[in-house]
Amino acid sequence: MAGRAVKQAGPPPPKLVDLARWLWIASAVVGLARFLVQLADRQMLIDRLRAEQSGLSQDELDAAASGGVVFGLLLGGLLVLVYALLANRMAGGRNWARITLTVFGGVGILVGIFRLLAVASGLAAVYGLVIPPVDLVFGVVTMILDAVALVLMYLPSVSGHFRSQRSVNAQPPQVANGL
C-alpha cells in the first residue's frame, strides 16, 4: 500500500522469553481445561443453583445452568485470548506486559498455595468447600507453569530484551552550555 510506512519487526525474542510466552499460553489453556471440566458437571451446577435459589423450578434451573455454561465458555475463551495477547506483547519486549503477567501469575500461585493448604489442613472441609482432586491437579500444573514462566522472564540473561526503546535510543540530555 503506497504511502503507508511498513513497521519493521524487531529482533526475535531470546529463546527463554519465547519459552516463557508459550508457558503462559499453556497455563491459560490448562486453566480453560480445568474450567471446562467444572462446567461439564451439569448436575453439580444445578445442585448449587438449587441450594442458592430454592424457589426456582426445574426448567428455570436448567435454563440458568445452560446460561452459566455459555457465559463460562465465553469468559474462558476471553481469558485465553488475553493471556495470549499479553504473552505475545511480553515476547515482543513490552515491559508492561511482563509486569501484568507477573501480577496475574503471582496472584494465581498464591491462590493455588492457599487452596492446597486449605485442603491439606482440613480447613476447606470445615467450611463445607469441596475441591475435587482433579481440580487440585489442574491447579498444581498451572502453578508450576506460571512459576517457571515468571522465573524465565526475570533471568539476567533476558533483562536487556525488556529495556524500553526510548532508554536504548535516547541521547543524553543537552544543557544550555552544551555540557
pLDDT tier at 3, thresholds 50, 70, 90: low
Q: Look-up: residue for cell 507453569?
A: 145
Examine residue 2 and state whether it is found in any structural domain, yes or no. no
- What is the per-residue pLDDT across 12-29, written as a single tens digit (0 to 9) for each? 899 999 999 999 999 999
Examine residue 164 and state whether it is found in any structural domain, yes or no. no
Residue 88 clears pLDDT 90, i.e. is over it: yes
Examine residue 136 and state whether it is found in any structural domain, yes or no. yes
Mean pLDDT of the chain, nearest integer:
86
What is the chain's alpha carbon radius of gyration, rounded to the nearest angstrom?
23
Examine residue 4 and state whether it is found in any structural domain, yes or no. no
Dihedral of CA 9/93/91/81: which sign? negative
Examine residue 141 and state whether it is found in any structural domain, yes or no. yes
- Domain span holding position 54: 15-158
- Identify the pLDDT of residue 164: 59
Residues 138 and 31 sit within 8 Å (Cβ to Cβ): yes
Examine residue 178 and state whether it is found in any structural domain, yes or no. no
**Three-state DSSP string of 88-123:** HHHHCCCHHHHHHHHHHHHHHHHHHHHHHHHHHHCH
Q: How many domains does the chain have?
A: 1
Examine residue 172 and state whether it is found in any structural domain, yes or no. no
Task: Specify the amino acid at residue 129.
Answer: L
Residue 10 clears pLDDT 80, i.e. is over it: no
Find how far residue 124's CA is from the centre of its chain: 24
93: cell is 519486549
Examine residue 105 and state whether it is found in any structural domain, yes or no. yes
